[in-house]
Each structure stands twice: as structure tokens, then as C-alpha cells.
Chains A and B, each alone.
Chain A
């Protein structure tokens, strides 16, 4: 090649490219917000000039609207100059202070991944490769397909650590269906909100305003939260503030009152609750007075709450998807809550805790699970015996196709995992984060797909790939109830690719172009949309209003009586006994406490007189997600703040913004203090996910034996002025 020719190739500005360039007019486009996750997926209408988005606003008429501060900040994230735009590989050995990342081509990146996958499969077998999806959760569908096709049983997600699965497990074990409850309907007379703070962290389209409206029309609210949350402050007729991790005792105390005073639904209990006598017997010992000692909630308040809930029927419920499962008795604590509406007979009745009659075919929790057929769930289940968590969390294994990832450190040390392929991966999600970082660093190969380079995660890996953001993705489309919506992406920045596309291209290069649609994202979406005889083109044609999937029939209630609840059409619930299980047969089978038993949490000591509640939220930052990429949100709260009751603060001469040392038996860190009455005396609270103050380093790897969830809201601590 001549020198001149080479120069021409390198020209970044030329006449050739100017030919045919037309003036760009502003046009409209549509996408969904991923600042929370694929759950809310709030609609965004944007103005674009060419491939540049100039303005965003709520998508008019979209079922999930309006946008919150997080949604608006996604534009800042999109055009953040620090964005990762090219595939990068490390050039310094693992363990070096600088990984020495350099840019590589997509061809080199994908070929390297495929070479490692093939080599590891040949040397150690396919199950030595762990496929992981953190946040966003959108790629779960495509990555499951990749894991199964490759032949690995080991696919896991962040939901096994801090998110929904432990509560979901409790729900499935107890009710046979998954629910965090629902908004009050016109029939609802009472609401039990337990551990949730919808005023701050509920989906904007469904929560606080609707709850305020319900209060105005006379619905009575019982809010259970150790903190004076905005939800408790604005809604609670009765606010119970239990000692963290004493959930099962408080629930037992309320059930004690219900049974003792005959306020329970006798007929429902006798006919539809398995183990009701054992439950009655168990809660007998939990008198309000005893429960007051355990939980710090006054006996009279417990009695009043139980009476209010039972006498203002029908009652519904809203639970946190995870807040009540962040302790070492996660599953049974949450199961205890679920028994309260059950013994009141509030399940699946108008105004009660609802179960949809005809959820959209094969799509439970749309993209958190993904459509079973596309995800090859049957084949994944066939590989179950090779799961890494098979013997550690057997009840979990029966419940979920995802591996419980808490023991990843041990599996790597035991050389059972040799490679780790991750989408949206943040090591800070785990307790004792450094142990996971160190373990991952020893792997033969690891790769992460992300929007940004994350110093808390990527220095320990071999390769980082740039992901297209929500405005630049076609997949996945949105599913709300029975309505489907598509999006109109702009060209991704740099060489970013959609999460799905990366998974599809790896699968294609592994030798399965037919299974992975030759890397064509739209073709993959069409394969799913084919479930309803639709294609993406149909979504485009109905861009604004979406496409409705007709329901198979009207909503039904008390389906357990009519056989509409189970696939076999028999009456009952979808549990082993066919009833709501106060005594869980699945837990019994695996030797766990089968009743929703109380387990005493860690006790405070003179050295550690306080209890640490980590992971509470603020409205402008999503849970443990990284926030450094959206400085607009950081302006609202630039630093991690330790919430401490003013009484406790005064005892230690701590004032607002004083630097304090937060210490648990497992670690310590410095953080600014924020005295506030939001937390009661004896409790301190801090958010997850601050790289500069990662509270998870202070949490032990002591997991709930049933769900494997860590004790984020149970650990004893002390606070001293630094």
C-alpha cells in the first residue's frame, strides 16, 4: 500500500463523505429508561438530530410514566465523556496495580472469548464457565440462551445476592406464586406495607400517589419499617418500627393476636392453609409482650395493627422485593409476613392480594426471567446436576434456574470455575467485596460488558466490552401486562454494541449461527414476538400506542377454588400440598425449619451497641447501582452519608457532616454522618454502592441457609467521631 493511500485511509474529514450529506432535521424517537431496571422501564420520548439525542421527555400515554430524576439523568449518562466505547483487553498480568487496558477490535475480542470458551470446555468441561448478568437485567434472556447452548449449567444473576429472589422464593414456597403485593383496589380497606418504601423506591407509575389517593378515600395503612420513612410518615395509621431482622417474631406476634382473638378467616385457614395447626401452636409463644422484648415494638401497637388489618378487610399488602430478606433468616422472615394476609383470608379476592389470571404467556417478570422457550429453560434444567450450588442451597436449586452466586469465592478457589462472562457486573454487590475481587482475579479468563469502566470490578478482569445504552438498543422490547412496545434506537456511540448482540455474536462464533440468528438482534426479538404472531415491525407500526395481546378471558378471583390456579386445573395453589404452606414441604424435605420460624439475629454488645441497616434508598439513586456516571444525581447527594439518630449522635458528639468511623466486627470505614430522626435510636443506616465507602466490606459472608442472601440489615456496629 502506498504512503498516500494509507494517508487517505486515515483521513477523518473528506469530501467523499460530504457527498449526499443532508441537513439534519429534528425527529422523534422512543425508548425505555433503564436507570432502575427492566421492571419499571418507564417510557421516554426523545428528540433526535441525526443520531444525536437533543431532548428527552416522558412518552405520552405510556403505561409507565412520568420520568423521575434518574430517568432524565440517563441523557447525561449517555453523553458522559467517560463512556466506554471500544473493546478493551488487559496487557499487564493479573495482580498488577495497573491492568494496562488497551483497545482491541471486536474481531479480536470475540475470537479471544470464543478461543477461551472452547479451550476451557475441552480442558475442564463446560460447567467451569460461569455466565453472569448483573444490572441492567435486560440481557438475561440472551445470556441464558448462550450459557445453555455452550453447555454450562452455571448461569447466575445479581438477583441472587441483593435483589428479588429470596423474597420470591419465600412467596413461591408459601403461596405457590410470586407477588410483592399490589396497589389497593377500590375494594381494599386496609394495606399492610412491610419493609417497602414506595415513596422513595416504588415504580413512579404505580406507587406513592396512588397510595395517597387510597388514603384519602379511607384505606387504613399499617407500615412496618424500622425507619420513619416518607411512606410511614405520609401514610401510616399505625407505624411499627421493629429491631432489624426480627421480622418473623413481629409477624408471629400479630398472628398470635389474630388467632387468640379469633380474627383470622377460619374457613380459609382450615381449607387452604397447610400446617395451620402447627403455625397456631408456634405463634402461641409469641405474646405481644414477648414480641415487644424481641422487636422493640410496643405490645399495644402490635395488637392494634393486627386488629386493624383483620377488621378492615379486605386487606392487601405491599412488601419490599428485598428489604426484608437482607438478614440471616431471610426466607423464613419473609414467609412469616406472607402468612398474615393468608390467615386473614385476603388472598386472591377483590381488594386483597391479587394473582393475575392470565399473565402474558411464558413471560413471568418479563425480562428478569425471559421466555422459557427462547431461554432454553428445559435444557438448562436438564443440566441441573452440574450446578455449582446443588449441595449448598438445595431448596434454591429446586426453585430457580439461576445459580446462587454467594459461594463464587469458594468455587473459584476449588477450581470449579475457570472463566466468568459477565454483563453489567459490580463486585460491590457482595459482602466482603475484596474476597470476590481477589477470586475473580485468579480466573483463567474473565470478561465484562458495561457502559463504563468500573474501578471496583474491571481491574480484576481480562476484557471489558462496551455496551450500547438504552437509547441505542433495540432489545428487549417492553411488556406491560398485555401491552407490547418497541423502541427506535439511535446509532451507538463509538463501537458500542447491544448486550444482546454481544451474546448473539459470541454464540454465532461458537458455531451456532442458526441458534443465535447470525448476531441479528431484531431476528432474535422476532423469534420471541412470534409467540404472539407478531414481529418488531408490528411494534414499529404501533410505535406510540403499542400492541395489545388479547386476554384469554376476564380476571377471576378465588382461583384456588375453581382450578384456575394450577397447570393441572385442579383446585388449590401451586405448592406441593396444593395449599398455602405455613409448613413448607419443600423446606421440610431439605431439612430446613419448615415453619416461618424466628431466629434471633446478631446481638448488640457494649463494644458494638448499634445495628447497621445498609441498602436503604433515596429517590435519585437506584439501589446499589453505580452513580459516578451521572453527576447530576451526585449533585443531589455527592457523598455517602451515615444516618444516625440525633440522640446517638449527641452521645458521641457527632454533628452533621462530621467524619465518623463506622465499624463492625468485620470491617470499618470512614463516612460523613447525617443525624436524622429517620432512623430510631440504636440503628444507623447507609446506602449500598458507594465506591468510596463500600459498606459491604463491613458485612460478613454469613448467608441465610435457605436463600443464600447476605445479612445486609442485621450487623452490629459502632460509630465514633473520626
Chain B
């Protein structure tokens, strides 16, 4: 039996949000710390969720997405013949050299560095995003030793908003417009403002196929998600959930 039109739209939208959430979480996990066994095994799954995303959001032609997709596929092929502990060690070296201050040039993972005149950690952005998290009764895990405006935390916030959107649609609370606005605001006031510069720096600095790939995907995805929220989401949204 075919579902009623509004039910179909809801299900489609929930599916979109689920895919978005999954991809935000994958990106968050990419930058939160070094790759471990579990995450390495998840890479194929990530690739699959990327395919879903490309289909759902019609973004496969984006240059960054294409480059990222090519590089991550290449990376997965390359590591097939390599022992897992060697892969993890190489990725840990890449992570340390890029993000932990022991490489030739460190790429900062925190928004404050890009959005402040001083280029330092813990500037206005740090306090702003902290407030945004508190607005929806979230806080950074106290055991995670990086600042609140760390890329992984901001991406996790977006994933949480996707989750709240799903929840509101499922429970028909009518709050999905609110969460939609929060996502749009956060992208516009935060991620969209600094991720391009971060990505450019990383891509220019990095010799790591994996982190270059994920950064291309990050930049492409942030851009695409904003487009989606602004245009396609409106279209979808207005089709009566």
C-alpha cells in the first residue's frame, strides 16, 4: 500500500537527515583524534554513506566532492595490501604532523584561530559556539581535551541538530523549523566562515592522502549542505510534511 504524500515526504526527509547526520559524524570522527581500528573498518561504510549523500543531495558534480571521493577511494585501494597496524601508525603520524604541533606546519583545528584577528585559540568563536551548544542543552564532553570550537565538536553539533530534526519530525513536535534555522545559522556564522580557509591550508600543507581526501569532502560537503538547506530543503519543507 502506498504511503500518503505527507508521510512519504516525512520519511524522505528523515532519511536525508539520517544521511546528513551520519556524514557529519564521520567527518567529526575524522578530526576528533587519530584513526583507530574501528574507524578504519568504518571507512567503507563512510564511502557508502557518501554515495547516499551524493544521490540524495545531487552534489556529485562538485569539484571538492569529486576530488575527495577520488582520493578516499584511492586511499582505500592503496591500504588493501598493507597491514592494519602500519596503516594506523602512518595515519597517526599524519595526524600528529598536521594537527598536534610536531610537523613542519601545524594546521589549527579550532575556529578561533581563523575567525580572530589574533589568530589564537580561545577567542570569541569559542564562547559563541559554547553558547549555541548550551541553547540546545548540549556541552562538550569534559574528557575531550580540545576546545569547544574544535572542528570535530562543531561537526558533532551539526550532527546533533540533524538528530533533533529527525526527532521533531518523527514526533511531529513542530520544532523542525527551529532546528533547521539553527543549522543554517551555524553553517553561516561558523563552519562556512572558517572551514574554507582551514581546508585550503590543510590541502596545501598535507602529504596525507587520507586527510586531504577527508578535507576535500569536508569543504565540499559544508558548501553542499548549506546549499541544500537554503534551496532544496525549502522546497522539500514546503511540500507539506
Contact = CB atoms under 8 A, between A and B. Distances in A.
B138 A91 contact: no
B140 interface: yes
B113 A101 contact: no
A447 to B, nearest CB: 14
A438 interface: no
A53 B142 CA distance: 18
Interface stretch (A82-90, A372-380, A519-527, A706-714): A82-90
Interface string A9-29: 011111101100100000000
Nearest to A458: B102
Contacts of B157: 13
Given A14-B139, A21-B134, A79 B122 contact: yes
Contacts of A91: 89, 92-93
Contacts of B138: 13-15, 17-18
Given A18-B139, A21-B139, A79-B121, A13 B133 contact: yes
B153 A10 contact: no
Contacts of A119: none
A13 B156 CA distance: 6
Given A52-B126, A84-B102, A13 B97 contact: no
Interface stretch (B27-35, B55-63, B65-73, B219-227): B27-35
Nearest to A51: B122
Contacts of A495: 145
Given A12-B28, A13-B138, A80-B120, A453 B160 contact: no
Contact of B120 (A11, A76, A458): A76
Nearest to B160: A13
Contacts of B100: 84-86, 88, 101, 103
Interface in A1-51: 6, 10-15, 17-18, 21, 49
A15 B160 CA distance: 10
A100 interface: yes
Interface in A463-501: 464, 493-495
A452 B101 contact: yes
A81 B120 contact: yes
B101 A102 contact: no
Nearest to B25: A7
B142 A18 contact: no
Contacts of A99: 102
Contacts of B126: 52
Nearest to B120: A79
A346 to B, nearest CB: 49
Contact of B156 (A11, A15, A455, A464): A11
A538 B95 CA distance: 45
Which of B96, B118, B157 has its CB near the most chain A CB atoms (within 10 A)? B96
A91 B110 CA distance: 27
A453 B100 CA distance: 9
A325 to B, nearest CB: 35
Contact of B96 (A52, A103, A452, A455): A103
B141 A101 contact: no
A109 to B, nearest CB: 14
A450 B141 CA distance: 27
Contact of B32 (A12, A80, A81, A82): A12
A103 B92 contact: yes
Which bracket fits the contact residues of B? Answer: 35 or more
B153 A12 contact: yes
A167 B165 CA distance: 71
Contacts of B95: 102-103
Contact of A101 (B28, B102, B108): B102
Contact of A81 (B96, B108, B153): B108
Contacts of A18: 133-134, 137-139
B131 to A, nearest CB: 9
Contact of A102 (B93, B104, B110): B93
Contact of A17 (B93, B106, B123, B140): B140
A102 B92 contact: yes
Contact of B146 (A15, A102, A494): A494
Interface string B8-48: 00000000000000000000110010100010000000000
A11 B139 CA distance: 11
Contact of A85 (B118, B120, B145): B145
A51 to B, nearest CB: 9
Interface in A51-91: 52-53, 75-76, 79-86, 88, 91
Contact of B101 (A13, A82, A98): A82
Contacts of A458: 102
Which of B101, B126, B146 has its CB near the most chain A CB atoms (within 10 A)? B101
Which of B100, B146, B156 has its CB near the most chain A CB atoms (within 10 A)? B100
Contact of A12 (B34, B106, B108, B156): B156
B119 interface: yes
A453 to B, nearest CB: 5
A12 B145 contact: no
B146 A453 contact: no
Contacts of B137: 15, 18
Contacts of A49: 127
Nearest to B105: A82
B212 interface: no
B201 to A, nearest CB: 11
A101 B34 CA distance: 13
Nearest to B28: A12
Contacts of A11: 141, 156
A13 B134 contact: no
B134 A101 contact: no
B215 interface: no
Interface in B79-123: 89, 92-93, 95-97, 100-102, 104, 106, 108, 110, 112-113, 118-123
Contacts of B199: none
B183 interface: no
A464 B102 contact: yes
Interface string B142-162: 101110001011001100100
Contacts of B153: 12-13
A511 to B, nearest CB: 29
A566 to B, nearest CB: 51
Interface of A: 6, 10-15, 17-18, 21, 49, 52-53, 75-76, 79-86, 88, 91, 98-103, 452-453, 455, 458, 464, 493-495, 631
Which 3 pairs of residues, A with B, have the shortest CB-CB distance? Answer: A81-B108, A18-B139, A79-B120
Interface of B: 28-29, 32, 34, 38, 89, 92-93, 95-97, 100-102, 104, 106, 108, 110, 112-113, 118-123, 126-127, 133-134, 137-142, 144-146, 150, 152-153, 156-157, 160
30 contacts: A11-B141, A12-B146, A12-B150, A12-B156, A13-B138, A13-B139, A13-B153, A13-B156, A14-B138, A14-B141, A15-B139, A17-B138, A18-B139, A52-B122, A52-B126, A75-B120, A79-B112, A79-B118, A81-B113, A81-B120, A85-B101, A85-B145, A86-B100, A88-B102, A101-B100, A102-B96, A458-B102, A493-B145, A494-B145, A494-B146
